[in-house]
């Protein structure tokens, strides 16, 4: 007879193998064209926006050496627990991003200079896939011929194209997204991303050669399985993948609120140019 722990491990392994498939017998609500209906307001739950890799809790987003271990860097010291990083099992398959050695060194440098380098601090558009698991909801608006995503953070938007126009004319923060259907799964390939976005708040960077392949699969009426595979031969030694659930916001008055944060950072970015600058 197997022990209870052994049986639990077997069940967990089986569940992991079936994780990408909807429960047997589940049929999503469909549009007139027969495709699953993803309309609604969705949000990721979890601390993945801090660090997509598996990690222990840290005392701060920026650290310095202390007499008995790492301490918060001076600019973040007064944030106390608010500036700390909660632990997470992560969403990266295998736990670690396969950075090349020089790219890993840049990642560590980014982390040490988080306050000055993270584009989120200055309200730049978040890029893909970061926009999906930031601590803000997003809304999918879908009909028989179009698929549009609006994000609360910074008013970011994406129009998923279903006819490939060819390579993007220029790199941009949100890139160019082209979709196709594989059964009931929407597959979206995004290219034309600039090299300024990060994957989280821990310095995880990429080049403008990044290609992101996302997969959206309806697993229940209120639950999407989201997967994204990143390819960037200039920065990574191999493609790598994240996966996480997205949950429907169920409040009767659920909606995207206004978080166009550019005005919130005007003092940070341009305050020194006032005729009479305020204390900084």
The model's pLDDT over 230-247, given as tens digits with 9 standing for 90+, comes to: 999 999 999 999 999 999
pTM here? 0.90
The pLDDT score that the predictor gives to residue 114 is 97
- How far apart CA 46 and CA 219 sit, in angstroms, is 18
Give the dihedral sign, CA 37/39/45/51.
Answer: positive
The mean pLDDT value for 249-264 works out to: 96
- How far apart CA 78 and CA 239 sit, in angstroms, is 39
SS3 (DSSP) at 262: helix
The pLDDT score that the predictor gives to residue 20 is 65
C-alpha closest to that of 103 among 244, 215, 230: 230
The pLDDT score that the predictor gives to residue 13 is 40
The pLDDT score that the predictor gives to residue 94 is 95
- How far apart CA 190 and CA 177 sit, in angstroms, is 4
The answer to whether residue 6 scores a pLDDT higher than 60 is no
Which H/E stretch holds residue 268? Answer: helix 266-270
Q: How many helices (H) and strands (E) does the chain have?
A: 5, 11
SS3 (DSSP) at 139: strand
The pLDDT > 90 percentage for the chain reads 90
The answer to whether residue 118 scores a pLDDT higher than 90 is yes
Both structure tokens of 178: 């082209």
Average pLDDT over the chain reads 93
Both structure tokens of 80: 């106390």
- Least confident residue range of 16-25, 35-44, 154-163: 16-25
* Confidence at 11, pLDDT banded by 50, 70, 90: very low
CATH superfamily of the domain spanning 28-54+89-273: Calycin beta-barrel core domain (2.40.128.20)
The mean pLDDT value for 147-165 works out to: 97
- Least confident residue range of 8-22, 154-168, 170-184: 8-22
Both structure tokens of 261: 């944060």
- How far apart CA 49 and CA 234 sit, in angstroms, is 23
* Confidence at 3, pLDDT banded by 50, 70, 90: low
- In our burial notation (b when 16+ CB lie closer than 10 A, e otherwise), range 224-241 reads bbbbbbbbbeebbeeebe
59-101, pLDDT tens digit by residue?
999 999 999 999 999 999 999 999 999 999 999 999 999 999 9
* Confidence at 263, pLDDT banded by 50, 70, 90: very high
Cβ–Cβ under 8 Å, residues 193 and 168: no
């Amino acid at each position: 007879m197997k022990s209870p722990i052994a049986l639990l491990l077997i069940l967990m392994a089986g569940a992991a193998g079936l994780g990408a498939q909807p429960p047997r017998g589940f049929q999503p609500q469909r549009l007139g064209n027969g495709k699953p209906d993803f309309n609604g307001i969705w949000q990721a739950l979890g601390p993945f926006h801090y660090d997509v890799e598996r990690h222990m809790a840290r005392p701060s987003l920026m650290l310095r050496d202390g007499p008995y271990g790492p301490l918060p860097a001076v600019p973040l010291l007064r944030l106390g627990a608010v500036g700390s990083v909660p632990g997470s099992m992560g969403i990266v398959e295998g736990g670690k991003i396969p950075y090349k050695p020089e790219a890993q060194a840049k990642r560590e440098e980014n982390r040490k200079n988080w306050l000055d380098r993270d584009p989120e601090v200055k309200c730049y558009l978040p890029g893909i896939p970061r926009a999906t698991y930031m601590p803000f909801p997003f809304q999918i608006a879908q009909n028989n011929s179009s698929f549009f995503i609006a994000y609360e953070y910074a008013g970011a938007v994406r129009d998923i194209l279903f006819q490939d126009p060819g390579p993007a004319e220029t790199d941009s923060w949100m890139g160019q997204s082209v979709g196709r259907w594989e059964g009931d799964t929407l597959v979206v390939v995004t290219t034309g991303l600039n090299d300024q976005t990060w994957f989280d708040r821990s310095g995880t960077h990429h080049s403008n050669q990044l290609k992101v392949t996302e997969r959206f699969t309806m697993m229940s009426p209120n639950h999407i399985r989201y997967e994204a595979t990143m390819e960037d031969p200039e920065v990574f030694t191999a493609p790598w993948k994240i996966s996480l659930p997205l949950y429907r916001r169920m409040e009767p008055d659920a909606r995207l609120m206004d978080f166009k944060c550019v005005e919130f950072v005007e003092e940070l970015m341009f305050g020194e140019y006032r005729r009479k600058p305020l204390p900084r």
